[in-house]
Amino acid sequence: MKLILRISFTFTLFYTVADALQCYTCESDECSEATLEMCSGGEVCSTRTTVFGDLGTRVSKDCTTREETCVFMDATTRTSISGGYTHTSNAAYCCSTDGCNKNTLPVLSDKPNKLQCYTCKSKGDQVCNTVVQCVGVEDHCFKYTVLAGDGGNDGRHLGCASVDVCRWPETSPSAPNFNCCKGSLCNKATGIGLSSLPLLLGLLLISLV
């Protein structure tokens, strides 16, 4: 009986270790020195390059769970969003072979493209009819209505977004009021303007990265 238990434990341990990946990880914002580390069973590798407006660029590589971080496997997710006063972008890649997150993803382009969208210029902007020039991979205009606790509208966010940002409602049940459209100035809205775009960007990065 003890022999059977020992064999069973050995096989369980073997398969647990065999399922674990080795991924590159780093801790600095530049990720200049990444080392291979053994992940926990069921985790995958990821690499991300994020630009936080004027705050600079952060590169990160680590072990993660698909549910926590990855929208797609073995494909780069490009999220880019612009408002009247800030721009943030993120390139992320998840994969499931040893050391597959070694390469650093390039920063997404911030060069202006042909699309323009309405946005809220600043906090307290009641109309949100300022026009913002979209950049890089941003090919949609978006409108996001924030619901107040009483069920009414607490504010709106408007701006430019990439197609992967527009998939946010598919991956986050908490974003039913996030809508995208194609074509310049297609997101016109009236009402209260709520300028907390950094918070919206944080939610998007958590949901889409």
Q: Where are the alpha helices (DSSP H) in 20-65?
A: none
Residues 10 and 40 in one domain: yes
The separation between the first and the last C-alpha atoms of the chain, rounded to the nearest angstrom, is: 48
Q: Residue 148 belongs to a domain with what CATH number?
A: 2.10.60.10
In a domain? residue 209: no
Last residue of a domain, one of 95, 124, 140: 95
User: What pLDDT score was predicted for residue 15?
Assistant: 37
**Sequence-separated (6 or more) residues with CB below 8 Å from residue 173:** none
119 and 189 inside one domain: yes
Mark whether 188 and 119 lie in a shared domain.
yes
Q: List helix spans (H) across 47-167.
A: 66-69
Tokens of 143: 């409108």
Segment 126-171, tens digit of pLDDT: 678 899 999 999 999 998 877 655 554 556 789 999 999 998 777 6
Q: Specify if 49 maps to a domain.
A: yes
Q: 69 and 153: one domain? A: no
What's residue 3's pLDDT? 39
Q: What is the pLDDT of residues 55-96, one digit of tens each?
A: 889 999 999 987 666 777 888 999 999 987 788 999 999 999
User: Domain end: 95, 130, 165, which one?
Assistant: 95
Residue 67 CB partners (closer than 8 Å, separation 6+): none
Residue 103 falls within a domain, yes or no?
A: no
In tens, the pLDDT along 5-41 reads: 343 333 333 333 446 889 999 978 889 889 999 999 8
Residue 127 falls inside a structural domain: yes
Domain that residue 67 falls in: 2-95
Token output for 145? 């209505």
Residues 72 and 37 in one domain: yes
Helices (H), 82-143: none
pTM metric for this prediction: 0.76
91 plus 143 within the same structural domain: no
* Cα(47)–Cα(37) distance, integer angstroms: 14
**pLDDT tens for each residue of 44-66:** 999 999 998 778 899 999 999 87
